[in-house]
Amino acid sequence: MTMTITELRRILVECAGGEDLAELGGDIAAVEFEELGYDSLALIETAARIQRDFGVTIPEEQLVEVKTPQELVDIVNAQLQDVA
């Protein structure tokens, strides 16, 4: 099992209240969360959803260092690989 940018996009939209945000269209992998309109609180909610959906816990001190969706996907996939 691995996480993709598409799956992360779905989680981000759900955490934003289910609105299909225009900022999340296209290639968001290298766009900083701040530019996408996601603050630290939104990322904490996203991390909780990732934990529920993927069984991966992202430590808060690591989460605050994450700048882009690709970095978050890489962290999740590294943890998923460690479990496998």
**How is the chain split into domains, by residue range?**
5-83
- Amino acid identity of residue 73, one-letter, is V
CATH number of 5-83: 1.10.1200.10
User: Among 25, 24, 22, 65, which Cα is nearest to 43's?
Assistant: 65
Going residue by residue through the chain, which has 84 residues, state the pLDDT in tens, using 9 for 90 and above.
899 999 999 999 888 776 656 667 788 999 999 998 888 888 999 999 999 999 999 998 999 999 999 999 999 999 999 876
Provide DSSP, 39-52: -HHHHHHHHHHHHH
- Would you state the pLDDT for residue 47? 96
- Alpha carbon distance 34, 31 (integer Å): 8
What is residue 20's predicted lDDT score, i.e. its pLDDT? 58
Burial class (CB in 10 A: 0-12, 13-18, 19+), 77: middle
Q: Quote the pLDDT of residue 63.
A: 93
Report the predicted TM-score, pTM, of the whole model to 2 decimal places.
0.90
